[in-house]
A and B are shown apart, each in its own frame.
Chain A
Amino acid sequence: MLLLPSAAEGQGTAITHALTSASSVCQVEPVGRWFEAFVKRRNRNASTSFQELEDKKELSEESEDEELQLEEFPMLKTLDPKDWKNQDHYAVLGLGHVRYTATQRQIKAAHKAMVLKHHPDKRKAAGEPIKEGDNDYFTCITKAYEMLSDPVKRRAFNSVDPTFDNSVPSKSEAKDNFFQVFSPVFERNSRWSNKKNVPKLGDMNSSFEDVDAFYSFWYNFDSWREFSYLDEEEKEKAECRDERKWIEKQNRATRAQRKKEEMNRIRTLVDNAYSCDPRIKKFKEEEKAKKEAEKKAKAEARRKEQEAKEKQRQAELEAVRLAKEKEEEEVRQQALLAKKEKDIQKKAIKKERQKLRNSCKSWNHFSDNEADRVKMMEEVEKLCDRLELASLQGLNEILASSTREVGKAALEKQIEEVNEQMRREKEEADARMRQASKNAEKSTGGSGSGSKNWSEDDLQLLIKAVNLFPAGTNSRWEVIANYMNIHSSSGVKRTAKDVISKAKSLQKLDPHQKDDINKKAFDKFKKEHGVASQADSAAPSERFEGPCIDSTPWTTEEQKLLEQALKTYPVNTPERWEKIAEAVPGRTKKDCMRRYKELVEMVKAKKAAQEQVLNASRARK
């Protein structure tokens, strides 16, 4: 049990020092109804307890100016109660100086004071004449209190307060003294706001955020002003429901119209202010300047970058050029050197040749008779032409150092060698030429010589067989040979080797000749089948030509893709071929179908042929 002590002598209410620590921020768990209540309170931006506190403060303030001075309305006694709508209710109650800021309590008090003073009974007692019925001006007081004591009606009256200045300053007015002109206007109009804490216009030094908040507030101004007070018809006057409805409709329309006008007014006001506001201009300029500066900086950076790039590129080019030059220089030097050497060699050879000739001459060409000498000279010339520098030198040395006989022998030996060499070369060339001609003959006359036992039919059959059994078929050439033997009409038995050689020779044939053969085949076919219809004859030939003159051959990869696609889309798949074509890139649906048919045929034929081979081998066993 805790008891409070009593105060010591002279002890009074006092604060010794301020609290040492401010509130700390903590994380709380978002659960429970108290949390919800707290958040709700906070989102309303006021706590209940503080609302109460503030209310209390207000109350105390009110009680302070309880003895509010009432202003006597001089025209009061001349008022016409019938015209109550046009009277100033605040003035009537003597509250003309406080107007919309008057509290309920003040209004009540004022009314009380007025009643005490102006009630007909009071005045009667004072000996004043009273008008009969409702015509006394006291009715105006009652009416005024009626209007002001009801918050809804009071709001309606406040909305159309006759003393309110609805004017909106024009742009030209605010040219020089923007703040002086607009500040009171905004102040004035802020009373219509539904939200409290209307932002102030501020001054030249307001921050951008403040100005922004100000204008966004005013552009989204939420006004409580309404114009029901100005209704021309009174709902209460209506006699029946329909009339009431009609009146309501009329009133609503006019109110909406007025509200719209009001909104336009506010809008105009804000627009005017915004366009005149020197701060906005300033901000815009700043923004512009900033952008400009950024742009400049960017451009500068880009320029610098470009320059750097240019420089680098030039440096690179320079380097490349230098390297090239150096290379060229080297090549030139080398060429020069080589030329020099060549020159030297040439000169040496020339010298040697001269020497040889001279020595030969000095030896009188190793012969006495003229014809021999001429022949010898020819031979020596030949030697000079063909011999290398070294052998020439050697020869010269021998000639110079030895006697005539030895020299002659050496020379003759050399001549013989040269002759031998020349002969050999010539033979080789001959052989080569012969070979070439033989080849040519072979290639041109190959078919001719082959045609002895390869008839036109057989050739066709061979081509067909080769196409039917493509490379990779099991014991391909044997199968082909077997196929040929079975289908050939000539009755000539052919081995696999024959077939291979023929096929190779056929491969060497130029396409022209191949075409020729095909054409011949076609002609023959036509002959055999007489006047078969064009379409009929076209089909088989097309099929025959199809695989070998296909627009683009199927690569192994495409083949694989096709096989995969055939597997993934079984026969009963709807739109099977479209899907397959999709799966094989670069191939149309038609291509795929054709290829598939070919493959089927091929496989069938292959199977048949292989079976035959098998049968044959079995029979052989």
Chain B
Amino acid sequence: MAAIGVHLGCTSACVAVYKDGRADVVANDAGDRVTPAIVAYSEREQVVGLAAKQSRIRHVSSTVVKVKQILGRSSADPQAQKYISESKCLVIEKNGKLRYEIDTGEETKLVNPEDVARLIFSKMKETAHSVLGSDANDVVVTVPFDFGEKQKSALGEAAGAAGFNVLRLIHEPSAALLAYGIGQDHPTGKSNVLVFKLGGTSLSLSVMEVNSGMYRVLSTNTSDNIGGAHFTDTLAQYLASEFQRLFKHDVRGNARAMMKLMNSAEVAKHSLSTLGSANCFVDSLYEGQDFDCNVSRARFELLCSPLFNKCTEAIRELLRQTGFTADDINKVVLCGGSSRIPKLQQLIKDLFPAVDLLNSIPPDEVIPIGAAIEAGILVGKESTSGDDSVMIECSAKDILVKGVDESGADRFTVLFPSGTPLPARRQHTLQAPGRVSSVCLELYESEGKNSAKEEAKFAQVVLQDLDKKENGLRDILAVLTMKRDGSLQVTCTDQDTGKCEAITVEVAS
């Protein structure tokens, strides 16, 4: 069964398909793996993608960009108001809903934001069908974590209107984790993952806890004042000042020239992620004068250093908010096209020296690939009613066992981590010296940190009269089972003799 994952971002959209056990991004008809989420309206047709982006220089007011920012919002929403004030298209309110008023020359059209999203989704569907054939319509769509119910439903309806069968809407950071298969192979572990998503218009950071193969968002933070567009803008401003220096013309007031510069700056920015320097060339930028300029990567990094600082500051802030240090993070996932910037990756590496930075998948394709994997999991299932059951019981505290290490000092090991979805069973093989005939498991509960106070001890399990072994170790199998209400059953078995002890600990009411 083939399934589709779609990520619709503010600036670009990307589609991946799940086929034969693999998820892969599909290039659109122009050969690009990422399609600009831009729709241009003309008298009789609508153009989606690169063509719309290129024609935007001439038809600013009839080209819709960043539709995701207004989708499903009402005019009272401050975000929507900000968008309306910045938009080059006319946005009006009609019947309590926001509409684009687009002048296509002949007549004025009123366009729903949902309609714009639908066109982009249609384009994505077309792209996916180029490899799957036209009968695969099952899709998983990603949404930002801070999307409200209305926005989610608007996005889902837009996808539905485009002919998709929406299996589920999943959050972007979860999709990113899924793309790397974090926690999917060995579901018993527990780890914390930072998802760093630097998209076209916003930076969103999330700390996720992975436990038993399930993901939980611990904290999240989104800032709208930093994104790929800001890098481009910074570079474009630099180019404008450069042009002024050369030709004594200030083009900053000329919207069309600035847009040309922006496009050129964007191309330069992309190539600077891989090359040491990039060339900017704009034909007849202003009064017929061509503009040619070289930008080195060092120059770019210097220009953008305030933005980089903002990124690292945001990461620090989020860690502070979560109560974590850099050591608590086990993995960092990069997604969003702008996290390709080498300097940024370097900075993140510096922040988390002991952590592996996951960037093997191109960052702007991580999320759609995750969505496609999820779609592959869901497709063919009769019921996908998992949406309302996302509230589940989890264990509240770590269950630890006390032991001694080689030097004889007390040490604790987590047997049953907190946040484990219940009911659950964890099985550990512990070791005890073979020369003593008894073993004692002292069980403690604690909230995080691999240590516990003496009064946190809640039970002990003792195995007596075991066969003595002169050398070597004996294996003790400890099985902990926790029910949904939090009560715990512990069974310890000596692997050699088969002697067994079991206790059940209830929750204090």
In the complex where A21-B486, A28-B390, A30-B386 touch, is A3 in contact with B460 (Cβ < 8 A)?
no
Specify which of A16, A22, A38, A50 is in contact with B458 (CB 8 Å cutoff): A16
- CB pair A19–B507 under 8 Å, yes or no, is yes
B44 within 8 A of A: no
Which residues of B are in contact with A by a Cβ distance under 8 Å?
168, 170-171, 173-175, 177-178, 183-184, 187, 208, 212-217, 370, 374, 377-378, 381, 386-387, 389-397, 401-406, 411, 413, 419, 421-425, 430-433, 436-442, 445, 457-464, 473, 476, 481-489, 501, 503, 505-508
Q: Smallest Cβ distance from A9 to chain B, in angstroms?
A: 9
Q: Which B residues are in CB contact (< 8 Å) with A553?
A: none
Given A34-B183, A36-B378, do A26 and B439 touch, yes or no (CB 8 Å)? no
CB of A32 closer than 8 Å to a CB of B: yes
Q: A7 interface residue, CB < 8 Å from B?
A: yes
Contact of B184 with A34 in the complex, beta carbons under 8 Å: yes
What are the residues of chain B within 8 A of A35 when measuring CB–CB? 213-215, 386
Residues of A within 8 A of B212 (CB): 34, 38
Indicate if the CB atoms of B213 and A33 lie closer than 8 Å: yes
B422 surroundings in chain A (CB, below 8 A): 23
Are A21 and B507 within 8 A (Cβ)?
yes
- CB nearest to A26 among chain B residues: B394
Is B187 touching A36 in the complex (CB atoms < 8 A)?
no
Q: A603 to B462: give the CA distance in the assembly, Å.
A: 116
The smallest beta-carbon distance between B205 and chain A, in angstroms, is: 16
Find out whether the CB atom of A49 lies under 8 angstroms from the CB atom of B413.
no
CB neighbours of B421 from chain A (8 A): 28, 38
Is the CB–CB distance between A29 and B170 below 8 Å? yes
B215 proximity list for chain A (CB < 8 A)? 28-29, 31-32, 35
A 6-20 to B, binary, CB cutoff 8 A, 1 in contact else 0: 111001111111111
A28 engages B175 (CB within 8 Å):
no
The answer to whether A15 and B503 have CB atoms under 8 Å apart is yes
B484 to chain A, nearest CB (A): 6
Known interface pairs A30-B168, A30-B387, A33-B377; A3-B432 also in contact (CB < 8 Å) = yes
How many Å lie between the Cα of A35 and that of B174 in the bound state?
Answer: 12
Given contacts A7-B464, A20-B508, A49-B481, contact A36 B386 (CB under 8 A): yes
Q: Which residue of A lies closest to B210 (CB)?
A: A32
> How distant is the Cα of A47 from the Cα of B485 in the complex, in angstroms?
13
Chain B residues with Cβ under 8 A from A25's Cβ? 391-394
> Would A15 and B459 count as touching, CB distance under 8 A?
yes
- Which A residues touch B397, using CB under 8 A? 19-21
- Chain B residues, CB < 8 A from A27: 216-217, 390-391
- CB-based nearest B residue for A18: B508
Residues of B within 8 A of A16 (CB): 457-460
Contact between A39 and B389 (Cβ–Cβ < 8 Å)? yes
Question: How far is it, in angstroms, between the C-alpha of A1 and the C-alpha of B171 when the chains are bound?
Answer: 39
CA A241 to CA B446, docked complex, whole Å: 71
Contacts of B404 in A (CB 8 A): 2-3, 5
**How many CB-defined contacts (below 8 Å) exist between A and B?**
202
Q: How far is A8 from B183 in the complex, measured between Cα atoms in Å?
A: 40
Which residues of the partner chain B approach A29 to less than 8 Å between Cβ atoms? 170-171, 173-174, 208, 214-217, 390
Q: How far is the CA of A53 from the CA of B459 in the complex (A)?
A: 21
- Cβ of A2 and Cβ of B506 under 8 Å apart? no
CB distance from A529 to the nearest CB of B (A): 57
A4 lies within 8 A of B441 (CB): yes
Instruction: Let me know if B213 and A50 touch, CB within 8 A.
Output: no
Interface residue A42 (Cβ < 8 Å from any Cβ of B): yes
Q: Please determine whether B187 and A3 come into contact, CB atoms closer than 8 angstroms.
A: no
Known A-B contacts A13-B461, A24-B396, A26-B391; the reply to A18 vs B505 at CB < 8 A is yes
B-binding residues in A (CB < 8 A)? 1-8, 11-36, 38-39, 42, 47, 49-50, 53
Q: Is B445's CB under 8 angstroms from A20's CB?
A: yes
Residues in A with CB closer than 8 Å to B395 are 23-24
Q: Are A4 and B187 in contact (CB under 8 A)?
A: no
Least distance between A514 CB and chain B CB atoms (Å): 52
State whether A31 and B508 are in contact (beta carbons under 8 Å apart), knowing that A7-B462, A19-B487, A26-B216 are contacts in the complex: no
**In the complex, the 4 A-B pairs of residues with the closest C-beta atoms, listed nearest first:** A34-B213, A6-B436, A23-B486, A7-B440
Main secondary structure of the interface of B (DSSP, over half): strand
Closest to A37 in B: B213
By a CB distance below 8 angstroms, the chain B residues around A17 are 458, 508
Question: Would A6 and B458 be within 8 Å (CB), given that A20-B445, A20-B508, A25-B391 are in contact?
Answer: no
Contacts of B173 in A (CB 8 A): 29
- Would A13 and B503 be within 8 Å (CB), given that A25-B392, A50-B423 are in contact? yes
* Contact A30 B506, beta carbon cutoff 8 Å: no
Do A4 and B392 touch across chains, with their CB atoms under 8 A apart? Answer: no
Given contacts A13-B501, A28-B214, A31-B374, contact A22 B396 (CB under 8 A): yes
Contact B438 A22 (CB under 8 A): no
A22, B487: Cα distance in complex, Å: 7
**Listed A/B pairs (24) with beta-carbon separation below 8 Å:** A2-B404, A3-B403, A3-B473, A5-B440, A6-B437, A6-B438, A12-B464, A15-B505, A18-B507, A20-B508, A22-B507, A25-B391, A26-B392, A27-B217, A28-B392, A30-B168, A31-B177, A32-B214, A32-B374, A34-B213, A39-B386, A49-B423, A49-B424, A50-B483
Of B170, B208, B458, the residue contacting A19 (CB under 8 A) is B458
Specify which chain B residues have a CB less than 8 angstroms from the CB of A13 in the assembled complex.
460-462, 501, 503
Given A5-B439, A31-B170, A31-B374; 17 other pairs, CB 8 A cutoff? A1-B406, A3-B405, A4-B441, A5-B440, A7-B464, A11-B462, A13-B460, A17-B458, A18-B506, A21-B445, A21-B507, A22-B485, A26-B391, A34-B184, A35-B213, A39-B386, A47-B423
Q: For the complex, what is the distance from the CA of A184 to the CA of B460, rounded to whole Å?
A: 46
Q: In the complex, what distance in Å separates the CA atom of A20 from the CA atom of B508?
A: 6
- Which B residues are CB-close (under 8 A) to A24? 393-396
Q: Which residues of chain A have C-beta atoms less than 8 A from B437's C-beta?
A: 6
Which of the listed residues B378, B440, B481, B489 has the most CB atoms from chain A within 10 Å of its own CB? B440
The CA-CA distance from A53 to B425 in the complex, in Å, is 11
Return chain A residues, CB-CB under 8 Å to B213.
32-35
**Contacting residues, chain B, for A23 (C-beta < 8 A):** 393-396, 422, 482, 484-486, 507
List chain A residues, Cβ under 8 A from B374: 31-32
B422 to chain A, nearest CB (A): 5
Cα–Cα distance between A17 and B482 once the two chains are bound (Å): 16
| Nearest-CB residue, chain A, relative to B501 | A13
In the bound complex, residues from chain A placing their C-beta under 8 Å from that of B396 are 21-24
Contact status B423-A28, CB under 8 Å: no
Closest CB-CB distance, A48 to chain B, in whole Å?
9
CA distance A140 to B503 in the complex (A): 47
Closest to B432 in A: A4
Contact B174 A31 (CB under 8 A): yes
* Given A15-B503, A21-B486, A3-B433 contact (CB < 8 Å): yes
Minimum C-beta distance from A564 to chain B (A): 19
Which residues from B are CB-within-8-Å of A22?
396, 485-486, 507
* Closest CB in chain B relative to A433 CB, distance in Å: 72
Q: Are A8 and B440 closer than 8 Å at their CB atoms?
A: yes
Question: Contacts of A21 on B, CB cut-off 8 Å?
Answer: 396-397, 445, 486, 507
A53 touches B481 (CB 8 A): yes
Complexed CA–CA distance, A54 and B48 (Å): 59
Would A4 and B403 count as touching, CB distance under 8 A? Answer: yes
Across the interface, A42 reaches (CB within 8 A) one of B168, B378, B389, B419, namely: B389
CB distance from A49 to the nearest CB of B (A): 4
Residues in A with CB closer than 8 Å to B460 are 11, 13-14, 16
Closest to B426 in A: A49
What's the Cα separation between A30 and B393 when bound, in Å?
14
For the complex, give the distance between the alpha carbons of A500 and B233 in Å.
79
B26 to chain A, nearest CB (A): 21
Q: In the complex, A250 Cα to B476 Cα: how many Å?
A: 62
On whether the beta carbons of A4 and B476 are closer than 8 Å, the reply is yes
Contact assessment for B413 and A2 in the assembled complex, using a CB-CB cutoff below 8 Å:
yes
